[in-house]
């Protein structure tokens, strides 16, 4: 099976909902689609086809040590950042999923494509 056909297969997924918000326990959590990109279809997983970049994140201990050098510290919340990173048009077929609008699987399903960076395992 060609990699292009494997990409067009629907990825295994499950619904995931966080039960608690670390900053506000009373806040309602959004229901998000979580893809299992390690699941194999015809022996190939989406993770096998994605380019693995080097880890460029700075170790936390280095950040903490550098934070103490200056007299002023600036912090930012990037919670919604991933929802603003678009997926290239040619890659969106790999992120298709079915959704039942009424919540029951007895009715007709609608096919959607994720257009922003997905969360997953």
Contact call for residues 12 and 36 (beta carbons, < 8 A): yes
Helical (H) or strand (E) element with 32: strand 32-35
Confidence of residue 29 (pLDDT cuts 50, 70, 90): low
Mean pLDDT of 57-79: 83
Rounded to the nearest 10°, the torsion over CA 42, 46, 49, 54 is -150
User: Is 14 part of a structural domain of the chain?
Assistant: yes
**Would the pLDDT of 34 be above 70?**
no
Helical (H) or strand (E) element with 99: strand 96-99
Query: Residue 91 is encoded by which pair of tokens?
Result: 């890659």
Residue 36 buriedness (CB in 10 A; 0-12 / 13-18 / 19+): middle
**Would the pLDDT of 74 be above 50?**
yes
CA-to-CA distance for 113 and 11, rounded, in angstroms?
Answer: 11
User: Is 85 part of a structural domain of the chain?
Assistant: yes
User: Is 15 part of a structural domain of the chain?
Assistant: yes
Domain total of the chain: 1
Helices (H), 9-115: 46-49, 60-67
User: Is 121 part of a structural domain of the chain?
Assistant: no
Q: Distances from the Cα of 2 to the Cαs of 14, 57, 108, in angstroms?
A: 26, 34, 29
pLDDT tens-place string over residues 85-115: 888 888 888 888 888 877 777 888 888 888 8
Question: 90 lies in which domain range?
Answer: 3-113
User: Is 119 part of a structural domain of the chain?
Assistant: no
For the entire predicted model, the pTM comes to: 0.45
DSSP 12: P
């Amino acid at each position: 099976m060609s990699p292009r056909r494997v990409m067009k297969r629907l990825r295994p997924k499950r619904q995931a909902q966080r039960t608690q918000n670390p900053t506000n326990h009373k806040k309602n959590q959004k229901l998000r689609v979580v893809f299992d990109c390690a699941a194999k279809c015809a022996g190939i997983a989406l993770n096998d086809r994605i380019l693995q970049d080097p880890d460029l994140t700075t170790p936390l201990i280095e950040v903490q040590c550098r934070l103490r050098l200056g007299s002023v510290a600036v912090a930012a919340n990037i919670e919604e950042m991933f929802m603003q990173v678009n997926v290239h048009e040619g890659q969106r077929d790999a992120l298709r999923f079915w959704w039942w609008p009424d919540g029951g699987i007895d009715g007709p399903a609608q096919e959607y494509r994720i257009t922003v960076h997905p969360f997953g395992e």
